Structure formats: C-alpha cells, structure tokens
Amino acid sequence: MILKGNIIFTSRPDKFETYPNSYILVIDGKVKSITKEIPKGYTKEDVEDLGNSLIIPGFVDIHVHAPQLYNVGIGYSKQLIPWLNEYTFPLESKFKDIEFAYKAYEKFVKELCKVGTTRSCVMATLHKDATKILIELFEKSGLGSYIGKVNMDRNSPSYLIENTKESIRNTKELILELKSRNRTDDNFKPLVNYIISPRFVPSTTPELMKGLGKISKDHEIPIQSHLDENNDEIRWVKELHPECNSFCEVYEYYGLLRKNKTIMAHCIYNEEDEIEILKKYNIMVAHCPQSNFNLSSGIMPLRKYLNKGISVGLGSDVGAGHTLDMTLMKHTI
Ligand code: GUN
Ligand code: FE
C-alpha cells in the first residue's frame, strides 16, 4: 500500500517527524519507507493520493471496557464502588445474552474505528461466549487488540459472579482457542491476543489470583487489572488482605505481576513501596484522566512516574471515561 499526503511519523516515543506531501510505503502492515518521490519500482497507479490530508499513526487505548460503552455519561455522581454496583454490574450482566452482546460489541468496534483507535487493551465481561464474539469481531475488523474476559469470583452480585474453577477453565479455553487460530511462527505477531483480566483484588479470591498467575506463566499471557484507584477501594483491599503491606503487594503475593507483561489501570494513590514494585516488574501504568475525574477518584502523579522511568500509556476507561476519543484524554503534566 502506498499513500500520499502530509505524513506524521513517530518511530519512537521521543521522536516526532513530519513529511509534507510525501509517500508512505506499507508492506505486510509495516512502514517500509517515507519518500518525497514515488518509491522505486512503483508507478502512479499504485498510489492512493489523499491530497492535503494528514496521515497519522493510529491511537492506542491501553485500558477500556468494551461492554460499558452503553453507559457512558451516566452515574458520575457516584464514586467507584457504588458506581460499579448501581450502573456497571447490571449492564455487564446483560452480556449473558449473546445477541445483546453481539450488537453491543459490533457498535464498540465500529466506534473505535471512527475515532482512529487502531490498538487497544480491552476488558470484556465474565461471560466466555460473549468474549468469543468480541474476539471474532476484532479479528474481522483488522484492528489490533489485547482482549480478556473479566475474572470475578467474590464480593460481586449473585447475577454477575462465577465460581473459581469455572473462571479458570473458561480463561484457559479462550486462550487455547485463540492460540490455535493464530499462526505460531517466530516472526508472526497476531493482531488479536488474549490478556488475563482479573477485575481487581476485591472481586478475585486468592485461589483465583494464583490460578490466573499460573496460566499467565504457562502460556506467556499478559495480565491487566486495576490498582489504587479510589480511597474506599484501597481501604477494602487492606481489610481483605492483612497479610500484605499494600494493594500492589497483593497482586505480587498471589503471582499476578509478570515482568514486562502487566498493565495496571489508575495507580492514583501508589505509596513509595508500591512504586518500587511497579519499577521492579516494569509494569505499564494505564493513565485514565477522564475516568479519574468523572468518578472523583483523584489525580494520578503523572510527572512523578515519568521522572522515575515508569512506563505510562493512556486509557479511555470507558464507561467511567465518557469518550473513546484519545485526542480528548487531557491531563496537565
Ligand atoms: N475497578 C474494578 N472494576 C472497574 C471498572 O469496571 N471500572 C473502573 N474504572 N474501575 C474498576
Ligand atoms: Fe477500568
């Protein structure tokens, strides 16, 4: 594919290059060259001329809940725990119905395309069949993503809870099914991948956390969850786990922190020893400023993390965040 236009290219996070009125050559999904003239060996007929348009990299949303799109904009007078109970859990329970799930997830993938988000890390619901549908819709779309069914086996409403063994079995089944469909040769990186997604400590038993950590190790699968988002949540985690010194340590203690393979959303109130744990495992922090504002969760110390060399990406956290549009994730550093 050769496109012509005003190209913005970001080959590294600290490099921002612009190429007015140029040609970008893409082979097998990879940028091969950006040139002032038509690349050698090609003719005008091979070029899609986009005139004066900007050609920019796709956006990346490293923390978003696909089922929650229908709830954007409501419930923001509540903080995290009541918001989950009153708005989020009732909506997520509807994904038991696969026809409902299909419609909702089709809309979600379409909306991601509309706002130019070409890569995302997605939490689904605890339902295996609905999550399969979401995986298949992403495969058809050509968008890249990491997707996981949510795991939750405690402190959840009776209509949205699973038992520990079932949760582990269904997670393994989704991983193996996706693996069997993806090519396994060394250089091939599939566009759609699995990510293990325990909801957060309060809704995941130690047995489930350990089981999921083992699956992550056995199959080399990344992990995503929530950490230090809200003061009531943090107090609750401390009550549930007196054996650990901090929220972050609970994930470490039960084997859910995998070096270079873990994303933690929010990280607003991390204490110094928790920041050390983030560094030790090179955990990627998903900064979700819109969500943190909407649920009055707090302000994440972004500059502090960046100065300490912690990797940070942006997450819309829809539906606590009210938009999928990554250009609207504003934060003053
Ligand atoms: N913590 C546990 N579940 C959720 C969720 O769905 N959204 C947010 N923002 N935080 C959570
Ligand atoms: Fe979230």
CATH number, residue 69: 3.20.20.140
For the stretch 103-143, pLDDT in tens is 999 999 999 999 999 999 999 999 999 999 999 999 999 99
Answer yes or no: do 85 and 119 share one domain. Answer: yes
- Phi/psi for 86 (5° steps) reads -90, -30
**Same domain for 96 and 51:** no
In the reported structure, the alpha carbon of residue 83 is separated from the centroid of ligand 1 by a whole-number distance in angstroms of 9
| Rounded Cα distance, 281 and 307, in Å | 17
Question: Which of 199, 201, 203, 232 for mutating ligand 1's site (highest number of atoms within 8 Å of CB)?
Answer: 199
> Would you call 223 exposed, middle or buried from its count of C-beta atoms within 10 A (0-12, 13-18, 19+)?
buried
Rounded Cα–Cα distance for residues 37 and 50 (Å): 15
In this structure, the answer to whether residues 254 and 327 fall within a common structural domain is: yes
What is the 3-class SS of 308-328, one letter each residue? CCCCEEECCCECCECCCCHHH
317 residue type, one letter: D
63 by DSSP, 3-state: which?
Answer: strand
Q: Which residues line ligand 1 (CB under 6 A)?
A: 65, 80, 84, 88, 199-200, 226, 229, 291, 317, 320
Q: Which mutation among 62, 65, 92 tests ligand 1's pocket best, with the greatest number of atoms within 8 A of CB?
A: 65
- CA 81, 82, 87, 90 torsion: positive or negative? positive
* Residues with CB in 5 Å of ion ligand 2: 265, 317
Q: How far is the CA of 141 from the centre of ligand 1 (A)?
A: 26
What spacing in Å lies between the alpha carbon of 11 and ligand 2's midpoint?
28
Regarding whether 260 and 183 lie in a shared domain, the answer is yes
DSSP 42-60: --GGGEEEEEEEEE-PPEE
Residue 20: CATH number of its domain:
2.30.40.10
Q: Are residues 120 and 132 both part of a single domain? A: yes
> Domain check: are 112 and 129 in the same one?
yes
pLDDT recorded at residue 50: 97
**Domain extent for 29:** 2-55
Q: Which of 36, 55, 74 is the last residue of a domain?
A: 55
pTM for the full predicted model = 0.94
Instruction: State the amino acid at position 20 in one-letter form.
Output: P
Does the bond joining 319 to the residue before it have cis omega, within 30 degrees of 0? yes
Q: Which residues contact 291 (CB under 8 A, 6 or more apart)?
A: 266, 297, 315, 316, 317, 320, 321
Number of domains in the chain: 2
Is 119 in the same domain as 208? yes
Residues 32 and 176 in one domain: no
Q: pLDDT by residue (tens digit) across 284-320? A: 999 999 999 999 999 999 999 999 999 999 999 999 9
**Are 93 and 12 found together in one domain?**
no
Task: Please tell me whether residues 65 and 51 are part of one structural domain.
Answer: no
Predicted pLDDT of residue 135 = 97
Give, in degrees to the nearest 5, the angle at Cα 232 between 228 and 235: 75
- pLDDT tens-place string over residues 32-59: 999 999 999 999 999 999 999 999 999 9
What is the reported pLDDT for 186? Answer: 67
User: Do 76 and 124 belong together in one domain?
Assistant: yes
Contacts of 127 (CB under 8 A, 6+ apart): 95, 96, 101, 149
CA of 317 to the centre of ligand 2 (A): 5
DSSP letter at 196 equals: B
Structural domain ending residue among the three candidates 55, 70, 87: 55
In the structure, what pLDDT confidence band is assigned to residue 332 with cuts at 50, 70 and 90?
A: low
Task: Return d(Cα 124, Cα 101) in angstroms, integer.
Answer: 10
User: CA dist 197 to 167, 183, 188, 269, Å?
Assistant: 11, 23, 24, 21
Closest residue CA from atom 5 of ligand 1: 84
pLDDT of residue 29: 80
Q: What is the phi/psi pair of residue 264, to 5°?
A: -120, 125
What are the tens digits of pLDDT across the range 53-83? Answer: 999 999 999 999 999 999 999 999 999 999 9
Instruction: Let me know whether 46 and 69 are in one domain.
Output: no
**pLDDT higher than 80, residue 163:** yes
Q: Whole-number mean pLDDT of the chain?
A: 96
> Cα 194 to the chain's mean position, in Å?
11
Using the 3D structure, point to which of 13, 36, 55 is the last residue of a domain: 55
Residue 333 pLDDT: 53
Q: How many beta carbons lie within 10 A of that of residue 218, not counting itself? A: 10
